[in-house]
């Protein structure tokens, strides 16, 4: 199975991102759909064998990445190396309330172990306290480490805990800090991704960065709704089941 690399239709003059065009192209065939999934296993009780299976599936189906917890990055790298599928890992997960220096050092260590995509949790307490400069600084510390190594950063906003104003402000701060993606959720809080929240994040992002929908996406209908709302990545543990659902309908 080969992966079709998608380029979103963008009007660089206006900052417009063609949501409908991207969704249509992504849903055109199984390879394109597979290429937007971050195949994910973040349960604390996940075993070595389960992590290996996840990584083998990510490589076999040509998903966007294999997303694991920090303790499993070396193992994941050893499984996917040579496949072209990168290892993704969470940073400051799941609360985001770590010291900024801790997040930065964690990012450095994980990149050295083979991670190429970092999903970091924003400091929500700082955001809700109106301490915008510190929120941006917290994110920028990880972004600088990642970008120096050629890695990507997705900033998890945990949208279920935010007001609309906070979602908008969080998105702008993440963009100002250099985020490559705005991400909805950890999947471990009071709620996951919703099409409405994805649309808010895409509205702020325009063509400036990607939007990742994550948390509670279990069916093809869920995935389709997120793409049609503006997502360009989908984080899911049900990636294989969703892809097989798509193939059964084709």
Q: Which residues contact 17 (CB under 8 A, 6 or more apart)?
A: 8, 9, 10, 202, 205, 206, 207, 230
Return d(Cα 171, Cα 91) in angstroms, integer: 18
Q: Tokens 């490559």 appear where?
A: 180
> Is 43 part of the annotated catalytic residue set?
no
* Residue 148 annotated as catalytic: no
Q: Cα(237)–Cα(129) distance, rounded to whole angstroms?
A: 33
Task: Report the residue count for the chain.
Answer: 250
Active site residue 4: no
Residue in 103, 180, 212, 222 annotated catalytic: 212
- Active-site choice (38, 103, 119, 197): 119
Nearest to 218 by CA among 200, 233, 250, 240: 240
Closest CA to 72 of 58, 57, 52: 52
| Pairing state between β 37-41 and 65-68 | parallel
Residue 72 sits at φ, ψ, to 5 deg, of -105, 10
Q: Which is the catalytic residue, given 103, 154, 167, 183?
A: 183
Active site residues: 119, 183, 212
């Amino acid at each position: 199975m080969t992966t079709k690399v998608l380029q979103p239709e963008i009007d660089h003059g206006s900052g417009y991102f063609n949501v409908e065009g991207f969704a249509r192209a992504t849903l055109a065939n199984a390879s394109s759909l597979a290429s937007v999934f971050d195949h994910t296993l973040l349960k604390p009780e996940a075993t070595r064998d389960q992590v290996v299976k996840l990584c083998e599936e990510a490589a076999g189906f040509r998903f966007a990445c294999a997303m694991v917890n920090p303790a499993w990055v070396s193992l994941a790298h050893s499984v996917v190396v040579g496949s072209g599928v990168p290892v993704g890992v969470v940073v400051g997960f799941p609360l985001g309330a770590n010291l900024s220096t801790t997040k930065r050092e964690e990012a450095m260590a994980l990149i050295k172990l083979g991670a190429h995509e970092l999903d970091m949790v924003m400091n929500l307490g700082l955001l809700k306290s109106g301490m915008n400069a510190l929120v941006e600084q917290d994110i920028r510390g990880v972004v600088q480490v990642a970008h120096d190594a050629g890695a990507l950063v997705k900033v998890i906003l945990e949208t279920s805990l935010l007001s609309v104003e906070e979602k908008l402000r969080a998105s702008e701060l993440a963009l100002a800090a250099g985020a490559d993606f705005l991400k909805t959720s950890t999947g471990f809080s009071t709620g996951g991704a919703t099409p409405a929240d994805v649309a808010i994040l895409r509205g702020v992002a325009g063509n400036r960065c990607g939007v990742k929908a994550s948390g509670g996406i279990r069916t093809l209908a869920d995935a389709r709704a997120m793409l049609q709302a503006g997502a360009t990545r989908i984080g899911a543990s049900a990636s294989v089941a969703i892809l097989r659902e798509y193939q059964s309908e084709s």
